[in-house]
Chain A
Amino acid sequence: GDSVTQMEGPVTLSEEAFLTINCTYTATGYPSLFWYVQYPGEGLQLLLKATKADDKGSNKGFEATYRKETTSFHLEKGSVQVSDSAVYFCALNNAGNMLTFGGGTRLMVKP
């Protein structure tokens, strides 16, 4: 079946540091890929998405590129802020409108 693997956290960075959170997937066909963010005490919010190979999703300074050759969708941000502290989930949808989530990566940004 489909699966999503994320780097384990927590990831601790200083403000203005560069962020990479790795995500790889296993799926048949051509899934759509997503990053969701969960701020403390809240539900998940869609951060960005990509629906086909080489698409780049972007939002709030975050970017991720759909790499079919490496089955990856790594999340990056050039300069993190304290307000980016949250849990980030990589997810895929492979027909049927059902999401498969990775285990989540907690990001902690220190001033």
Chain B
Amino acid sequence: EAGVAQSPRYKIIEKRQSVAFWCNPISGHATLYWYQQILGQGPKLLIQFQNNGVVDDSQLPKDRFSAERLKGVDSTLKIQPAKLEDSAVYLCASSYPGQDSFGPGTRLTVL
């Protein structure tokens, strides 16, 4: 089966600009997650969707980050405006209970 797809793979922006990331999960996976991985750290959960509803967004900085999952399939994560500390790899994962598969990530550099 095809894995989790993410785009773009790399993005460089200046602070205060906006950026969006896209994720296409594995077909049939109802649960989708976005994680932030800062260099030298493990991934940190930002938001979890079950179908097209938000299950957990307690660690999402809602003043600048937003996410949606259209029709319970693809998802987008947006940052507006970006800060220097947002430089990280943004990982999307999908799950069919208990088996989490990760995409390759989008590496964001904020200058």
The answer to whether A and B belong to the same complex is no
- A interface residues, Cβ below 8 angstroms from B: none
- B interface residues, Cβ below 8 angstroms from A: none
